[in-house]
Amino acid sequence: MLPKLTFVLGGASSGKSAFAENLVMQSGAPRVYIATSQAFDDEMTAKIDAHILARGPDWHTIEAPTDASAALAQVETGQIVLFDCATMWLSNQMLAQADIATETQSLVAALRACKGRVVIVSNEVGMGVVPDNSLARQFRDAQGKLNQHLAGISDLAVFVVAGQPLVLKGTLG
């Protein structure tokens, strides 16, 4: 039985999304997918298409590249949400030059107010060398803080490494 809020963190191609999808599918509840991606180029379009294909038709999808709070407000009691992912959400906020602290507060409030259970996926991006450019450094700092925040409010937090879960907080049932 999944708790109210589950945080799934992992590196690129770590299997974090598949792991999170699996948690949702094992729950047996009606599934909602909150899609955060905006396709700006062919590489991203291909990635999104591959994910949709892998997920299959049994999902109610809400496209929410920027307004995640509105999407979370549409979720009904008993549903379980896969929010994939916080990294894309953050990237979209930064592109829109939004105030990250304000938007994070709004996201956290919406996650707490959501009537269904939520599994939120995010990327670990802070374990390489310091990036050359300032924007990349700003992004990884913002991502690190957001990940701390999301892990902090979660009931269950899992770090996925090579497809395998390391539990950071709570109990993986």
Selected from 40, 43, 58, 173, the binder of its own copies by CB under 8 A is: 43
By CB under 8 A, tell whether 9 contacts its own copies.
yes
Beta strands in the chain (DSSP E): 5-10, 31-35, 60-63, 80-84, 117-123, 156-161, 164-169
Compute the least distance from the CB of residue 70 to its own copies, in Å: 26
- Residue from 77, 97, 162, 173 that binds its own copies (CB under 8 A)? 162
| 78 touches its own copies by CB under 8 A | no
Query: Does 27 carry a binding-site annotation?
Result: no
Do 82 and 91 form a contact (C-beta atoms < 8 A)? Answer: no
- Residue 55's contacts (CB-CB under 8 Å, 6 or more residues apart) are 21, 33
User: According to the binding rule CB under 8 A, does residue 134 interact with its own copies?
Assistant: yes
Question: Does the annotation flag 70 for ligand binding?
Answer: no
* Region from 6-14, 22-30, 58-66, 106-114 binding its own copies, contact rule CB under 8 A: 6-14
Rounded to an integer, what distance in angstroms lies between the CA atom of residue 140 and that of residue 80? 29
